[in-house]
């Protein structure tokens, strides 16, 4: 049976959508142990006061305005919870508050004996009156076991989670602590243009998957190393590790909060049907760096998917990328180091994060050994080497398999890149082509259209014999 991601609505994502309501009351809950005998009670000599900055988490994630909108439009409250553990790692006090707006919250833990304490604080949002919580706290009795996790496969930005941790010594009186929660995950703005109609009959949504390790929670003990802290999500989402975002047909944006992070992640964009089973892969994006506290954008124009790669980065970088894309919508920059080895080509091509390959090794071609890369869903580059082990790059074929661009677009691009048009190449042994040479005369490029409509851009070192076949020279 094919494993499925959970459907949209309250199951696929943490919607947090309810009736419009406004609150102006902060409610406080507290539970501290006060049942000891008088001798023990006499040893208790102080209090901890916690000053919590509710705004910091959302400011650092860059979503303050969006959170304000969420609070106005939905029945939600902020929750701030503080746990206090003694030196032995036992929970001695739990306190918290719910508030309706971004404000400073002050909480106390009273009647604590002198000594060292570990203070943990976490902040998120919940809906009322159904008390829908994106995060679940478990194992709170012991510092070594306390953890927080989610049952949701995907949540929007209102599921943002912040954690603060501190160790404090109490020697009597009131010790005031500032607790500023830090984001343990990141915001990924999943954006699509052109998803107004399903490209296949069954396509109902687009899902951005994480094909690297996915997280569903974390242990809160500050003594744990980063590698021991995270709780891996072992669920399977249509063959993928995790879900980063989902956009239903006719929509264009989903801002998600994700725990997934790393410096070499792989994301893939798939269409899915009404049951959220995958239909087809639109693109793969490699070497993604995503860290807690980031606010990043994944963007793709599905109308240009055949020849324009996706984008992943900051919102400011996206604006610059879109300007450049509108000037040069086609990415055509093969590795023209003739005589080099496959490893050199592979390193260069994999430096483009959107490039991927669906072949595992070099394969035989006519007189050569070849390896193929997809630079867009309908655009590929095939590199031809002299030997089976990928020695001596000899030729390159770029092929556009779409039907929405003409060969003139590619010819104009070559001229813009500095290639010089020399006329029509007409050799009885090969197709009739337009022929170009680089300004230094080292590279030869030929363009033509195959019978099936595929546009070919062929590169090789300049062959002096080819000049005799140029007709109608410039």
pLDDT in tens, 13-44: 333 222 222 223 345 556 675 544 444 444 55
Residues 106 and 230 in one domain: no
Residues 176 and 31 in one domain: yes
Task: Report in angstroms the alpha-carbon separations of 347 from 278, 342, 399.
Answer: 30, 9, 21
Residues 351 and 383 in one domain: yes
Count of the separate structural domains present in the chain: 3
**Domain for residue 337, yes or no?**
no
d(CA 281, CA 258): 22
**Domain for residue 62, yes or no?**
yes
- Please, what is the end-to-end C-alpha distance for the chain in angstroms? 62
Residues 313 and 356 in one domain: no
d(CA 444, CA 338): 12
Residue whose pair of structure tokens reads 């994006």 in the numeric block: 285
Residues 120 and 247 in one domain: no
d(CA 242, CA 288): 14
| Confidence (pLDDT) at 86 | 96
Radius of gyration, alpha carbons of the chain:
29
Residues of the chain with pLDDT under 70: 1-31, 33-44, 72-75, 127-131, 197-200, 327-328, 473-474
Domain end position, chosen among 158, 183, 208: 183
Task: Report in angstroms the alpha-carbon separations of 199 from 202, 204, 205, 206, 356.
Answer: 8, 10, 11, 11, 22
**Domain for residue 72, yes or no?**
yes
Whether the CB-CB separation of 257 and 160 falls below 8 Å is answered with yes
Residues 403 and 290 in one domain: no
| Confidence (pLDDT) at 211 | 93
**Domain for residue 274, yes or no?**
yes
∠ Cα 415 417 422 (to 5°): 35
Domain end position, chosen among 152, 183, 214: 183
Residues 118 and 18 in one domain: yes
Whether the CB-CB separation of 459 and 335 falls below 8 Å is answered with no
| Confidence (pLDDT) at 472 | 79
**Domain for residue 1, yes or no?**
no
d(CA 339, CA 395): 10
Residues 49 and 157 in one domain: yes
Query: Which domain range does residue 276 map to?
Result: 186-327
d(CA 172, CA 43): 10
Domain end position, chosen among 277, 299, 327: 327
What single DSSP character describes residue 171? Answer: -
| Confidence (pLDDT) at 26 | 46
**Domain for residue 6, yes or no?**
no
Residues 376 and 319 in one domain: no
Residues 162 and 25 in one domain: yes
Tell me whether the omega of the peptide bond preceding residue 361 falls within 30 degrees of 0, making it cis.
no
Residues 247 and 390 in one domain: no
d(CA 148, CA 146): 7
What pTM, to 2 d.p., does this model score? 0.80
**Domain for residue 148, yes or no?**
yes
Residue 205 sits in a domain whose CATH number is 2.60.40
Residue whose pair of structure tokens reads 């975002």 in the numeric block: 245
- The two tokens of residue 42 are 């006499």
Residues 179 and 59 in one domain: yes
**Domain for residue 73, yes or no?**
yes
């Amino acid at each position: 049976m094919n494993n499925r991601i959970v459907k949209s609505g309250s199951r696929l994502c943490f919607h947090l959508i309810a009736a419009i309501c406004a609150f102006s009351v902060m409610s406080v809950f507290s539970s501290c142990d006060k049942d000891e005998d008088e001798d023990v009670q006499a040893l208790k000599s102080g209090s901890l006061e916690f000053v919590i900055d509710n705004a910091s988490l959302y400011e650092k994630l860059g979503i303050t305005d969006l959170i304000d909108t969420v609070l106005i439009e939905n029945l939600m409250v902020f929750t701030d919870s503080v746990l206090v553990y003694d030196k032995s790692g036992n929970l001695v006090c739990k306190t918290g508050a719910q508030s309706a707006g971004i404000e400073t919250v002050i909480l106390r833990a009273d009647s604590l004996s002198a000594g060292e304490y570990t203070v943990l604080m976490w902040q998120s949002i919940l809906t009322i009156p159904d008390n829908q919580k994106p995060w679940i706290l478990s194992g709170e009795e012991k510092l070594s076991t306390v953890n927080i996790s989610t049952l949701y496969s995907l949540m929007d930005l209102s599921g943002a989670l912040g954690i603060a941790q501190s160790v404090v010594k109490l020697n009597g009186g009131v010790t005031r602590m500032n607790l500023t929660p830090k984001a343990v995950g990141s915001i990924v703005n999943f954006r699509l243009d052109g998803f107004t109609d399903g490209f296949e009959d069954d396509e109902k949504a687009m899902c951005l998957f994480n094909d690297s390790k996915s997280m569903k929670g974390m242990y809160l003990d500050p003594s744990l190393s980063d590698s021991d802290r995270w709780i891996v999500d072992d669920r399977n989402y249509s063959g993928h590790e995790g879900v980063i975002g989902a956009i239903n047909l006719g929509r264009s944006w989903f801002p998600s909060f994700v725990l997934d992070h790393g410096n070499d992640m792989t994301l893939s964009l798939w269409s899915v049907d009404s049951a959220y089973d995958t239909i087809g892969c639109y693109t793969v994006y490699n070497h993604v760096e995503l860290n807690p506290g980031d606010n990043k954008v994944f963007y793709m124009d599905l109308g240009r998917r055949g020849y324009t790669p996706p984008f992943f980065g900051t919102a400011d970088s996206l604006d610059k990328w879109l300007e450049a894309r509108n000037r040069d919508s086609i990415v055509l920059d093969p590795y023209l180091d003739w005589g080099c080895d496959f490893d050199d080509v592979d390193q260069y091509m994999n430096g483009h994060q959107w490039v991927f390959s669906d072949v595992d090794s070099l394969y035989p071609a006519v007189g050569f050994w070849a390896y193929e890369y997809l630079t867009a869903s309908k655009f590929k580059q095939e590199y031809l080497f002299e030997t089976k082990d990928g020695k001596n790059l000899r030729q390159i074929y770029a092929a556009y398999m779409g039907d929405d661009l003409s060969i003139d677009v590619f010819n104009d691009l070559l001229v813009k890149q500095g290639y010089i048009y020399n006329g029509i190449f007409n050799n009885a042994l090969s197709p009739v082509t337009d022929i170009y040479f680089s300004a230094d005369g080292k590279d030869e490029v030929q363009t033509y259209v195959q019978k099936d409509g595929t546009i070919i851009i062929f590169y090789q070192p300049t062959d002096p014999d080819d000049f005799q076949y140029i007709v109608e020279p410039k």
